[in-house]
Amino acid sequence: MKSQTIKKRQKINRVFGFKSQRTAKIYEKAGKKKHRNLTPFFRQNYQSKEFSYTTWFFLQRCETHDLLKNTYLNALRLAKGEREAIRRERRETLDVLIPTLVAYCDFAPSSELLFEVRANVEHIAKMCNQAYTSYDSVSNKYRVRYDTVLNAIEMLEEAELITVLREYDKQGQKQKPMRIWLNVEFFLMFGITEKQLREVLLKFHKYQFVNNQLEKTFKNYQKHLDKMEQKGVADIKRHHSLRNLLIKRRKDLLGERIIQFVAQRKPNNYLELDIERDVFKPCFRSFSDCNSPDEVEKLRKRLWDRELVRQKAREKALNNRLYKAALMQQYSNELH
């Protein structure tokens, strides 16, 4: 057996300032998703003259509102089995989305449906600085995306703070632009009561009458309805249960006496009307008791019922697609 010659390792005496002759290997950058595309911020001026006093009143409440102490969102996260604290990225989006929804909200109590947000979701996302363009490789074109705003809207909808109407266009094979209404609980989460909200709306209506803006308000509302019909927005006339629910909420908040008052084009008793004379029972979830164990359990059941409805709709759509595919296969077999 030959003796193996072991080569001795050359020892290099390294001194300060020694530089290696080897070049570093350059690795390809990992293609991971961005953490966030844009930073959300409110793009409108809080002191703008376009805002009425009512809008400005709620915008100031948005400034002092703490989402971590919001009992409605707390009840939602308890019902879904999540931790109570909301992630920082979602909180920053909600801090901007909530005042943006308030800025485009219709506070006229004479409208048939209260608190409608008169802006599409894409424009709302642009006002939140959350809309960005991305390349879609499937359709081979660029499109505007605002996923963070859609996720925040879905969270507010599950917490029953807003009402969203969605509708699918069968002819165009796409979703129609959605419509959003703010629920009464959306304003109760700022720490005000139903009576205070009623007073704010009544003062807004009296201000419009004193400044001769009632006729303009009625015309703008009718123009708004005509514009939505032309642009193919989701139509609430086909959704009778949702329309009746929104009308009932308006009736529970204002009462029949105030509804008859705001329906007048030229009210005579606008100074004498006082809502304190009418006795209103609490009709909406209060801010203090909405995260009690009973209310959380009721909310969990409502979320589960909605998920069952969505699951049945998905199963029905899948069965329809399979049925059409089977029919097409049968027709092709008969032709051959």
Interval 3-23: pLDDT, tens: 566 666 666 555 545 455 666
Predicted confidence band of residue 256 (pLDDT cuts 50, 70, 90): confident
Give the three-class secondary structure for 72: helix
Pick 129 or 172 by higher pLDDT: 129
Confidence tier at 189 by pLDDT (50, 70, 90): very high
The answer to whether residue 32 scores a pLDDT higher than 50 is no
Q: Which tens digit of pLDDT belongs to each residue from 140-168?
A: 888 888 999 999 999 999 999 999 998 88
Mean pLDDT of the residues in the chain? 83
Strands 168-169 and 141-145: unpaired
Question: CB–CB of 305/158 below 8 Å?
Answer: no
- 214 versus 95: which is more confidently predicted? 95
The answer to whether residues 270 and 206 touch, using CB atoms and an 8 Å cutoff, is yes
Cα–chain center distance at 245: 19
Which of 156, 184, 197 has the alpha carbon at shortest distance from 70?
Answer: 156
DSSP state string for 262-303: HT-SS-S-TTT--GGGS-----S--TTTTTSHHHHHHHHHHH
Average pLDDT over residues 206-223: 82
Query: Rounded distance, CA 20 to CA 23, Å?
Result: 8
